[in-house]
Amino acid sequence: MNKSKSRYAYASATDLRSLVNSFGEAVLVVDDQGEVVFADPNAELLFDRDVSHLLGESAPCELREGELEVARGDETIRAHCRSEELVWSGNLATAYFLRAVDRAMLDLEGKLTASEERISLAEEALRDAEAGHNQARERLDEISVEVEGLSQENELLKATVSELEKQVST
């Protein structure tokens, strides 16, 4: 990285511990070689690994902004990740702040998805009903035109019958 170090925050393990503990997020600091140089106790919990098994190793998963999957023993959980570039021990590094997406949030997301699907189905049914209504309206208009034509034809027939009756009576 050829960026100016003055743009980045300077951090130490003590600074990060006190900051991170207040947010409850797992923190990994990864140097520009991809090696973990700092992991807090929340990272131990999130990755289900002792700090000693995280430090000096490659990141335990692909770290990037947004939502990602974290392998934890036999299970995979989702976590939200944000990052911040900083200077660590005089070198550029990236701090990754991760928060597990808990079961309640997953349940809410599931309910939201189901609700969105129901809304989509209702909108589709409404469109179908409107299309059916429009078709019925068009057919009604056609029938009205036919009835009007038949009424005019009926009036002509009545007039013709009336003429014929006059001719017959004379």
**Which residues, listed in sequence order, are joined to residue 92 by a DSSP beta bridge?**
87
Q: What is the pLDDT of residues 18-33, one digit of tens each?
A: 554 445 688 999 998 9
Confidence of residue 105 (pLDDT cuts 50, 70, 90): low
Domain spanning 5-101, CATH architecture? 2-Layer Sandwich (3.30)
Q: What is the pLDDT of residues 55-73, one digit of tens each?
A: 988 888 888 888 888 887 7
Residues 105-115 have a mean pLDDT of 70
Total-model pTM: 0.50
The confidence score (pLDDT) of residue 110 equals 67
